[in-house]
Amino acid sequence: MADPFEAYSNLDDIAEQLRAADAGERRVAVMELADSGDPEAVVLLAGMLDDPDSGVRTQTAQALGEFDGPETAAALAKALADHESEVAQAAADSMAELKDPDAADPILPLVEHSSAFVRMNALRGLKELRRPDSLKPALDALQDSDPGVRVQAVGVIGFLKMEEAIPALKAATKDAAAHVRRAAVSALAFSEMQTAADAVTHALGDQDWMVREIAADTLGKMQAGSAAEERLRAAIDDEFWQVRLKAVRSLGRHRIAAAIDGIAGCLRHEQANLRKEAASALGEIGDSRALPMLNAIFDDPDPDVRKNVRWAVKQLSEGAAASR
């Protein structure tokens, strides 16, 4: 088998340093390869994934993050199964940085790897590549026994934005693992199908408050029907202020005038972020009935709240003047 270190005359000096007895010197050489930006360095780096020192292998996996393409992906696929966790994690992080769709070819088979860590990070790497042929493996992975794998499968499907995957994403909003449900609810934001909006609306009643928070936020990005508006208005009274904030924001985006009393109730909340969002939402809705409510907190102690209140008052005042 040919020695990859002998293949590239323009990298001879670094290649020589890669053979040094001292692991520290080899790590420095790996960093120099990363800094070189030379695509030919990928073969040299791939060879260093067999280095006996785990620190060198970790540095190599990190260095590969500076490159792209199928050769890089193939090297990272090997490092992903390294017996040292820090090497494997470095490879996973570098794989997630790949952008060349052709890099998917060496990664796709890993979705069926025996290791859940490898399956999870293979899907993580596929997400940004947006390869249509990654849809089926991702759909299959929604049945994986590991919730981390299912989360990444949802991410792949969401990035592909294919309406044919909506039924699977809807089913994932009822997954046993809360973080899978959160991912699925968020992934449905791209869809304009009513059934997708219905699933997100239903998630506003989820037992996990972070699922409810994401559902409230996602509905602000979708076409919200009457059922969604009603549930968002109810979410203004959620026990978690984070859910209330996202509900208020979405109601403002959709300019739901019927919600102004509920939103105005948040203007006195102890959380400044919620007061700020409530003021902004009232300004977006543009109903002059909210002016007295906003004027009542014109001197709020928080500068960001005051800024949003003044903006909202200006919006409503100008709107009222224009309608005369």
In a domain, 42, yes or no: yes
In a domain, 180, yes or no: no
Cα–Cα distances (Å) from 301 to 223, 268, 272, 277, 307, in that order, read: 36, 11, 9, 15, 11
Residue 256 gets the label, from left (phi > 0), alpha (psi -120 to 50) or beta, of beta
> Is residue 188 classed exposed, middle or buried when 0-12, 13-18 and 19+ CB atoms within 10 A define those classes?
buried
In a domain, 204, yes or no: no
Of the three residues 65, 98, 131, the one that is the final residue of a domain is 98
pLDDT in tens, the chain (324 residues): 445 444 444 688 898 899 999 999 999 999 999 998 888 999 999 999 999 999 999 999 999 999 999 999 999 999 999 999 999 999 999 999 999 999 999 999 999 999 999 999 999 999 999 999 999 999 999 999 999 999 999 999 999 999 999 999 999 999 999 999 999 999 999 988 889 999 999 999 999 999 999 999 999 998 877 888 999 999 999 999 999 999 999 999 999 999 999 999 999 999 999 999 999 999 999 999 999 999 999 999 999 999 999 999 999 988 666 665
In a domain, 75, yes or no: yes
Of 75, 68, 85, 27, which Cα lies nearest the Cα of 51?
27
pLDDT of residue 12: 82
C-alpha–C-alpha distance, residues 52 and 121, integer Å? 24
| Structural domain of 67 | 1-98
Of the three residues 79, 98, 117, the one that is the final residue of a domain is 98
- Structurally, how many domains does the chain consist of? 2
CATH number, domain of 72, equals 1.25.10.10
pLDDT of residue 225: 76
In a domain, 294, yes or no: yes
In a domain, 286, yes or no: yes
Of the three residues 98, 122, 149, the one that is the final residue of a domain is 98
In a domain, 270, yes or no: yes
- Please state the pTM of the whole predicted model: 0.87
Cα–Cα distances (Å) from 200 to 210, 242, 319, in that order, read: 13, 17, 33
pLDDT of residue 10: 67
Report yes or no: 15 and 3 within 8 Å, Cβ to Cβ: no
In a domain, 188, yes or no: no
pLDDT of residue 6: 44
Q: Which residue has the tokens 């494997």?
A: 88
pLDDT of residue 145: 97
Of 242, 244, 296, 240, which Cα lies nearest the Cα of 268?
296
